[in-house]
Structure 1
């Protein structure tokens, strides 16, 4: 409903804020005459509502044409100059625009901005062809705050992880996935939930005195609507449709861009992001160096750093860094995806539920990679680096085997699982993973710590659990076939030891296991359990030895001596780890963080982030102590009891693993050049080489070779006896 009120000029208020009057003056009669001549108008005949720079020769009224000034307007330096950004070249000044309650800094262009209200404009800003650009006094710029007098129902929440919004978190400008993860996973702790709101409100004045912000050297052109927007330095916005209640973080080092047809509502866009081509985001936080394009829809979700989303739809998700989802038929809903993930075309993750209410969810560890046209039933859970083949999985899955392949057999049959599949058949991908993601990380400031190495404590604890599970299932299998060593055992512990001995002694045994807990109703068939058991042990041993070598090198220890070992034994052991937004943190440290928040030791999110930093600084130390624990588990004795024979066994085995990682990577990659089916689309070898290059051109393999040789040498020197 439109209302109307008639008033005289004397009733128009234009009080200047105190912070904008410094070094400013009123217009002279001569300047007013020029403004009137150039078809400009003001709410006041004497133009009392306009202030300009009091520095001589810093205000040229000839640079203002056909514009209207209402409320107060405060202008910085306005001298004839030309601003250029790419192919756009415009003369500084104000042309064919309507300004109200606007403050500008120096050398700006405001050209054909039909309605500009309540904004502060930085230096060398270009505003060109904008229909409406306004800001309310209660603007929040995408943050989950409340202003004075506002009801709780006005607060903006982001319903991550579950469609019923009971894992919802509040957005704020510095939010990273680690914050959202901890907030969304501890819902039963009411005091902690309340404290999280207090942390978010910490820097909120609650006063209804806000104004829109466009920082230095930002460029906004050909845009329909900006409302309650905070636009960062050097941001570039072209052809956007609607930007409402948002913050666009940008800097000269990490410039953000928004392109044609984009609609962003109620959210925060991170530094260095590019959002183009009719993409839509509503109730969102997007991390640093992300891309959203080609009609992608991001709704009620948080997207971690270094992620790319195209074409698809994403609803009610918490997504950790390095997420890739490129294809038009993809669909993702009600999940927590823990990063380094790739969603293939046609994957409809979240299309079906197991109840009549939308309260199911999926959790997937790092490296989740579902195949083409896969769909899953809520609830489901996946360990780290699980590859799922094409199929319609009609029953809930609980895949606890990391680095495994899951294959669909038939709707009423067990799924097939090959544990440790990546180590057995695709070592190139694992070896390249760390290199690939580090190279793609274009962030200048790395607030969210991201572990890119697949062989990290989160995945290693899953490998330990997978080994234990394989031993239990092998015990059950041996009982079923009547293996005497198990049948003669007098206790559960002896049965498990007999199964473990069987896996060690029968290296060529080829049998399958049945895991009833991997899929609801029909379970799973486990293939190649002996090879998987061996591979998990090899990788655990490799991780442990590498962690020790890295620790000794970084701390200047030439040998992993008994003195160093005894020192390490005194360090607190953390044997449970969590992937918190991409950073691997001991579970106990996260509990301690939550306790500090509840008791008031930590009172804002900056302090929370400082706590993450402290965990990261000690990460190598914690990880190395965990490595000693792994070796103790593998050899079933305290590490101080390891003799020279055991240490030599470790060096020999890890050297083989390290060398095999390089050789298997070469073999995996070479197949791309020698497979006749790969070559059949080329007329000859020369054409194939021109298109694909050669294996010798692969930069990563050169790096891996040097790293392998260096590591093997360090291993012999530091751990050798």
Structure 2
């Protein structure tokens, strides 16, 4: 018997489906006055104008069906065949075909069938333009065909298969669908009422946007393209040498243009600021906004979030959140990854189907997951409870669930004894490794997200330490602390744990030494978060509802009996220690580089000039100023003797 529940999230998505949708607005405009979509002041051609046009190689099956704008210039239409009802605007200005290259507006060497062309457009060498509206100022230059079928849906009629490639997580799509809504629809399958509302709202939307015309938006530029069919091309869009563009909606604007360059996009929906270039192929997908697919990459049956860059690799049946980097030849299949902010290195194979049967498995990476060079990730896998997990180079993981944030999964360096009874295929899990050995990467990630964000719609939090991640850290620490102890004696540092002993380890093993370091590092980051929130509360603002209560609870648990002055002084000590951890990572990299690469120091910034190290120092300085603004000293009485922030690197 299936478990049923009802969530307001899907109902909210259904009620706001395609709200303020540019595609719907375009279709309604075309339906409102189909014979004069652009609202021009029209008149029939005079005999003199017909004679001028025929003298310049133009012909029409029926000149009486041709309407033109007031002040129409017949000299701007040459060697053109007009079929059916066509509307021609006023052509006076020049059009910029490429930066620095302008040509007179008008229609030259083209065939138009039931087409409407706005003012100051340029159509040249368009061999076939049928049932298309070209808005004012658009350029269509050297295009094979620009046509619409009898029923055009602009790619919105589809239901994608995400996660398992065989289906099971159906995802209806529409312009404006974002990653959060896509993830909710794909994962909240037990909300039958919500799913029904989504399907019904999607069906109504498809009926509402179905028409029989293409649309080229104001100021759009289309050059050297073979075929365009059933397309809505938004204002300012630039298309150059596209090999195929069919059944698509490109919902961009002149302020946030979308670029398609030497690529193929079919049955897809593209938002503002998207780039598809370099031989890339996009099919049955949604590119939300300000993301890119380049260098022969392939994206199929996927939703790609903002600020994500995909090049050379393949993404199939996936929901990929913001700030994911897939810049090399690699593979991502069946991923439900709405939090994004991760990286897929060269040769990573995230999507190996371990069953050898139907491709019906999936993976749920967590926020910030880093898949290292050449790793091989078997499905199914769930890393959603392990944000900022790093999987080392060449690691092959088994199907599993891991629940330890900021951890490292690596090939064991030290040999295990036979008595440990650890399967040979298991890797080593190092909990909290990213906190005490790779804090540089965390500071760099926050800076990177802040500097590279180009989205203008959904809010993307740049901070790594947020309540939802802190909750996972707290849970992980509690599981590490209940490791079995024989009698009153602490386990030996060489003790080995597996999933049966400590939950969340997955198909890996954990050493006692790393367990202790993990407990300490998790405790310090919990202190750091709690004290940050308490400082903000002392300044008079609560970061999130309930965050102050959680901060007091953590502070009472980890730093009991301290005054607010002592707690804020402890925060400064933790921030100072974090700066040292970040510096150590940079110094270690420099020391290794200098020993190996001639002239290494000449092409790398020193630790004092490193942007990430400076960012850590800046946070410390800001925290010091904020604490002093509350009237507290930097080192409160009694704080020096407390075990705060004393994180150590593993020996």
TM-score bin (small chain)? 0.7 to 0.9
Matches within 5 A, 1:287-298: 287-298=288-299
Tell me by how many angstroms 1:668 deviates.
1.8
Partner of 2:316: 315
Relative to 1, partners in 2 of residues 1:320 and 1:625: Cα closer, same or farther, differing over 3 Å? farther
Partner of 2:335: 335
Question: Of residues 88, 111, 119 in structure 1, which corresponds to 2:132?
Answer: 119
Aligned residues of 2:153 and 2:206 also touching (Cα < 8 A): no
Question: Of residues 534, 537, 542 in structure 2, which corresponds to 1:548?
Answer: 534
Partner of 1:131: 144
Tell me by how many angstroms 1:185 deviates.
0.7
Tell me by how many angstroms 1:78 deviates.
1.2
> 407-416 or 241-250, which moves further after superposition?
407-416
Question: Gapped runs of 5+ residues in structure 1?
Answer: 1-14, 145-155, 485-501, 556-567, 569-618, 636-641
Relative to 1, partners in 2 of residues 1:164 and 1:527: Cα closer, same or farther, differing over 3 Å? farther
Question: Of residues 135, 139, 143 in structure 1, which corresponds to 2:156?
Answer: 143
Aligned residues of 1:412 and 1:522 also touching (Cα < 8 A): no
Question: Gapped runs of 5+ residues in structure 2?
Answer: 1-32, 413-421, 637-651
Mapped pair 1:631 → 2:647: no
Question: Of residues 565, 575, 589 in structure 2, which corresponds to 1:658?
Answer: 575
Mapped pair 1:50 → 2:66: yes
Partner of 1:40: 58
Relative to 1, partners in 2 of residues 1:633 and 1:121: Cα closer, same or farther, differing over 3 Å? farther
Mapped pair 1:384 → 2:387: yes
Q: CA–CA distance in 1 between the matches of 2:433 and 2:450?
A: 24
Tell me by how many angstroms 1:526 deviates.
5.8
Partner of 2:418: none
Question: Of residues 167, 170, 194 in structure 2, which corresponds to 1:168?
Answer: 170
Matches within 5 A, 1:517-528: 517-518=503-504, 524-525=510-511, 527-528=513-514
Matches within 5 A, 1:176-187: 176-187=178-189
Partner of 2:442: 430
Partner of 1:694: 606
Aligned residues of 1:133 and 1:225 also touching (Cα < 8 A): yes
CA shift digits 1:593-644 (9 cap, x unpaired) = xxxxxxxxxxxxxxxxxxxxxxxxxx73344444344335546xxxxxx75x
Question: Of residues 189, 192, 212 in structure 1, which corresponds to 2:191?
Answer: 189
Partner of 1:668: 585
Aligned residues of 1:512 and 1:527 also touching (Cα < 8 A): no
Relative to 1, partners in 2 of residues 1:314 and 1:208: Cα closer, same or farther, differing over 3 Å? closer
Tell me by how many angstroms 1:347 deviates.
0.8
Aligned residues of 1:53 and 1:77 also touching (Cα < 8 A): yes
Aligned residues of 1:60 and 1:80 also touching (Cα < 8 A): no
Tell me by how many angstroms 1:519 deviates.
6.2
Partner of 1:439: 451
Tell me by how many angstroms 1:240 deviates.
0.4
Relative to 1, partners in 2 of residues 1:19 and 1:126: Cα closer, same or farther, differing over 3 Å? closer
Relative to 1, partners in 2 of residues 1:18 and 1:287: Cα closer, same or farther, differing over 3 Å? closer
Q: CA–CA distance in 2 between the matches of 1:188 and 1:234?
A: 42
Partner of 1:31: 49
Relative to 1, partners in 2 of residues 1:401 and 1:18: Cα closer, same or farther, differing over 3 Å? same
> 212-221 or 388-397, which moves further after superposition?
388-397
Partner of 2:78: 65
Relative to 1, partners in 2 of residues 1:16 and 1:310: Cα closer, same or farther, differing over 3 Å? closer
Aligned residues of 1:428 and 1:661 also touching (Cα < 8 A): no
Partner of 2:267: 266
Partner of 1:575: none
Mapped pair 1:416 → 2:428: yes
What is the TM-score normalised by the length of structure 1? 0.77
CA shift digits 1:390-436 (9 cap, x unpaired) = 23535222211100011134962532111110111111111222111
Tell me by how many angstroms 1:172 deviates.
0.9
Relative to 1, partners in 2 of residues 1:381 and 1:716: Cα closer, same or farther, differing over 3 Å? farther
Q: CA–CA distance in 2 between the matches of 1:18 and 1:91?
A: 24
Task: Count the aligned residue pairs.
Answer: 587
Q: CA–CA distance in 1 between the matches of 2:513 and 2:100?
A: 60
Relative to 1, partners in 2 of residues 1:223 and 1:379: Cα closer, same or farther, differing over 3 Å? same
Question: Of residues 451, 459, 465 in structure 2, which corresponds to 1:449?
Answer: 459
Aligned residues of 2:493 and 2:512 also touching (Cα < 8 A): no
Aligned residues of 1:515 and 1:525 also touching (Cα < 8 A): no
Partner of 2:11: none
Q: CA–CA distance in 2 between the matches of 1:253 and 1:700?
A: 32
Aligned residues of 2:325 and 2:344 also touching (Cα < 8 A): yes
Q: CA–CA distance in 2 between the matches of 1:342 and 1:245?
A: 31
Matched residue of 1:662: which SS? helix
Aligned residues of 2:400 and 2:507 also touching (Cα < 8 A): no
Partner of 2:545: 621
Mapped pair 1:535 → 2:530: no
> 191-200 or 64-73, which moves further after superposition?
191-200
Tell me by how many angstroms 1:523 deviates.
5.0
Matched residue of 1:48: which SS? helix
Relative to 1, partners in 2 of residues 1:257 and 1:711: Cα closer, same or farther, differing over 3 Å? same
Question: Of residues 395, 400, 403 in structure 2, which corresponds to 1:400?
Answer: 403
Relative to 1, partners in 2 of residues 1:463 and 1:554: Cα closer, same or farther, differing over 3 Å? same
Q: CA–CA distance in 1 between the matches of 2:408 and 2:343?
A: 15
Matched residue of 2:449: which SS? helix
Partner of 2:488: 483
Give the RMSD, CA atoms, in angstroms.
2.6
Relative to 1, partners in 2 of residues 1:440 and 1:221: Cα closer, same or farther, differing over 3 Å? same
Relative to 1, partners in 2 of residues 1:180 and 1:512: Cα closer, same or farther, differing over 3 Å? same
Relative to 1, partners in 2 of residues 1:110 and 1:421: Cα closer, same or farther, differing over 3 Å? same
CA shift digits 1:412-462 (9 cap, x unpaired) = 25321111101111111112221111101122x2x2221222211222111
Relative to 1, partners in 2 of residues 1:649 and 1:531: Cα closer, same or farther, differing over 3 Å? farther
Partner of 1:237: 239
Aligned residues of 2:120 and 2:136 also touching (Cα < 8 A): yes
Aligned residues of 1:538 and 1:654 also touching (Cα < 8 A): no
Q: CA–CA distance in 1 between the matches of 2:403 and 2:631?
A: 32
Matched residue of 1:268: which SS? strand
